Copies of this chain bind each other. A is one copy, B any other.
Amino acid sequence: MQLSNSSQYAIRILAYMADNKDSKLLNATELAKTLYIPYKFLTKIMTELVKSGLVVSIRGRDGGYKFEKKTSEIMVSDILAIFNDSIKNEQCVLGIGFCNGLCKCALHDQWIEPKHLLQKMFQESSLEDIAGKGCKI
Protein backbone atom coordinates (compact mmCIF):
# COMPACT_ATOMS: atom_id res chain seq x y z
CA MET A 1 0.00 0.00 0.00
CA GLN A 2 2.44 2.64 -1.13
CA LEU A 3 3.51 4.65 -4.12
CA SER A 4 6.18 3.33 -6.45
CA ASN A 5 9.75 4.40 -5.79
CA SER A 6 9.69 6.39 -9.01
CA SER A 7 6.68 8.41 -7.86
CA GLN A 8 8.08 8.96 -4.40
CA TYR A 9 11.42 10.08 -5.79
CA ALA A 10 9.78 12.32 -8.39
CA ILE A 11 7.68 14.12 -5.80
CA ARG A 12 10.68 14.64 -3.55
CA ILE A 13 12.79 15.90 -6.44
CA LEU A 14 10.18 18.33 -7.65
CA ALA A 15 9.38 19.52 -4.14
CA TYR A 16 13.07 20.23 -3.63
CA MET A 17 13.24 22.02 -6.96
CA ALA A 18 10.23 24.08 -5.90
CA ASP A 19 12.07 25.01 -2.71
CA ASN A 20 14.96 26.26 -4.82
CA LYS A 21 13.28 27.50 -7.94
CA ASP A 22 14.70 31.00 -7.65
CA SER A 23 18.27 29.79 -7.72
CA LYS A 24 20.19 28.75 -10.78
CA LEU A 25 19.53 25.54 -12.70
CA LEU A 26 19.66 22.38 -10.66
CA ASN A 27 21.64 19.53 -12.12
CA ALA A 28 21.35 15.78 -11.68
CA THR A 29 24.56 15.36 -9.72
CA GLU A 30 23.49 17.91 -7.14
CA LEU A 31 19.95 16.57 -6.89
CA ALA A 32 21.16 12.99 -6.49
CA LYS A 33 23.62 13.93 -3.76
CA THR A 34 21.27 16.18 -1.86
CA LEU A 35 18.30 13.85 -1.98
CA TYR A 36 20.19 10.57 -1.62
CA ILE A 37 18.71 9.15 -4.81
CA PRO A 38 20.84 6.91 -7.06
CA TYR A 39 22.23 9.19 -9.78
CA LYS A 40 21.42 6.96 -12.72
CA PHE A 41 17.91 6.31 -11.52
CA LEU A 42 17.37 10.01 -10.94
CA THR A 43 18.40 10.89 -14.48
CA LYS A 44 15.98 8.30 -15.81
CA ILE A 45 13.19 9.88 -13.79
CA MET A 46 14.17 13.40 -14.85
CA THR A 47 13.99 12.42 -18.49
CA GLU A 48 10.42 11.24 -17.88
CA LEU A 49 9.55 14.53 -16.24
CA VAL A 50 11.02 16.41 -19.20
CA LYS A 51 9.08 14.31 -21.69
CA SER A 52 5.91 14.95 -19.73
CA GLY A 53 6.41 18.69 -19.97
CA LEU A 54 6.69 19.44 -16.26
CA VAL A 55 10.36 20.28 -16.47
CA VAL A 56 12.76 21.53 -19.13
CA SER A 57 16.32 20.40 -19.40
CA ILE A 58 19.29 22.43 -20.57
CA ARG A 59 21.88 20.11 -22.01
CA GLY A 60 25.61 20.60 -22.13
CA ARG A 61 27.99 22.27 -19.76
CA ASP A 62 26.31 24.37 -17.05
CA GLY A 63 23.07 22.63 -17.96
CA GLY A 64 20.45 21.30 -15.61
CA TYR A 65 16.74 21.32 -14.98
CA LYS A 66 14.10 23.93 -14.25
CA PHE A 67 10.32 24.06 -14.25
CA GLU A 68 8.42 24.39 -17.50
CA LYS A 69 5.18 25.30 -15.76
CA LYS A 70 4.46 27.35 -12.68
CA THR A 71 4.76 25.38 -9.47
CA SER A 72 1.24 26.44 -8.59
CA GLU A 73 0.04 24.63 -11.70
CA ILE A 74 1.75 21.31 -11.04
CA MET A 75 -0.30 19.02 -8.83
CA VAL A 76 1.06 15.93 -7.14
CA SER A 77 -1.57 13.97 -9.07
CA ASP A 78 0.10 15.12 -12.31
CA ILE A 79 3.30 13.50 -11.14
CA LEU A 80 1.59 10.26 -10.19
CA ALA A 81 -0.06 10.11 -13.61
CA ILE A 82 3.34 10.01 -15.28
CA PHE A 83 4.32 6.87 -13.40
CA ASN A 84 0.91 5.18 -13.67
CA ASP A 85 0.34 5.61 -9.97
CA SER A 86 -2.91 7.54 -10.11
CA ILE A 87 -5.76 6.49 -7.87
CA LYS A 88 -8.68 5.89 -10.19
CA ASN A 89 -12.28 6.18 -9.11
CA GLU A 90 -12.98 2.62 -10.18
CA GLN A 91 -9.97 1.21 -8.34
CA CYS A 92 -11.12 -1.60 -6.07
CA VAL A 93 -9.22 -2.20 -2.86
CA LEU A 94 -9.56 -5.95 -3.40
CA GLY A 95 -8.50 -5.83 -7.04
CA ILE A 96 -11.83 -6.87 -8.49
CA GLY A 97 -12.21 -5.63 -12.04
CA PHE A 98 -15.56 -3.91 -11.99
CA CYS A 99 -16.30 -3.01 -8.41
CA ASN A 100 -19.20 -0.59 -8.49
CA GLY A 101 -22.61 -0.06 -6.97
CA LEU A 102 -24.07 -3.20 -8.57
CA CYS A 103 -21.28 -5.65 -7.98
CA LYS A 104 -19.22 -4.30 -5.13
CA CYS A 105 -16.48 -5.96 -3.14
CA ALA A 106 -16.66 -6.75 0.54
CA LEU A 107 -14.77 -3.59 1.49
CA HIS A 108 -16.31 -1.32 -1.15
CA ASP A 109 -18.21 0.93 1.25
CA GLN A 110 -15.35 1.37 3.70
CA TRP A 111 -12.89 2.09 0.88
CA ILE A 112 -14.77 5.02 -0.63
CA GLU A 113 -13.87 7.61 1.98
CA PRO A 114 -10.12 6.97 2.29
CA LYS A 115 -9.90 6.69 -1.47
CA HIS A 116 -11.49 10.09 -1.91
CA LEU A 117 -9.21 11.60 0.71
CA LEU A 118 -6.17 10.20 -1.08
CA GLN A 119 -7.39 11.55 -4.41
CA LYS A 120 -8.08 14.91 -2.79
CA MET A 121 -4.64 15.02 -1.20
CA PHE A 122 -2.96 14.35 -4.53
CA GLN A 123 -5.22 16.50 -6.67
CA GLU A 124 -5.23 19.53 -4.42
CA SER A 125 -1.57 19.68 -3.44
CA SER A 126 0.47 21.79 -5.82
CA LEU A 127 4.22 22.01 -5.72
CA GLU A 128 3.84 25.59 -4.58
CA ASP A 129 1.70 24.41 -1.69
CA ILE A 130 4.24 21.93 -0.46
CA ALA A 131 7.37 23.95 -1.21
CA GLY A 132 9.21 24.77 1.96
CA LYS A 133 7.18 22.28 3.94
CA GLY A 134 9.26 19.70 5.73
CA CYS A 135 12.58 18.18 4.85
CA LYS A 136 13.14 16.54 1.51
CA ILE A 137 15.66 13.83 2.29
Contacts and interface: CB of A to CB of B under 8 A. Distances in A.
Interface residues of A, number: 39
Contacts of A107: 11, 76, 121, 125, 130
Majority secondary structure, A binding face: loop
A90 to B, nearest CB: 12
Given A8-B94, A12-B105, 10 more contacts: A1-B2, A2-B91, A3-B95, A8-B93, A11-B107, A12-B94, A105-B135, A106-B131, A106-B134, A107-B130
A15 B96 CA distance: 14
Contact of A1 (B76, B87, B94, B109): B87
Interface string A102-130: 01111111110110011001000100001
A74 B26 CA distance: 51
A21 interface: no
Interface string A64-89: 00000000000010000000010100
A15 to B, nearest CB: 4
Contacts of A12: 94, 96, 105-106
A133 interface: yes
A58 interface: no
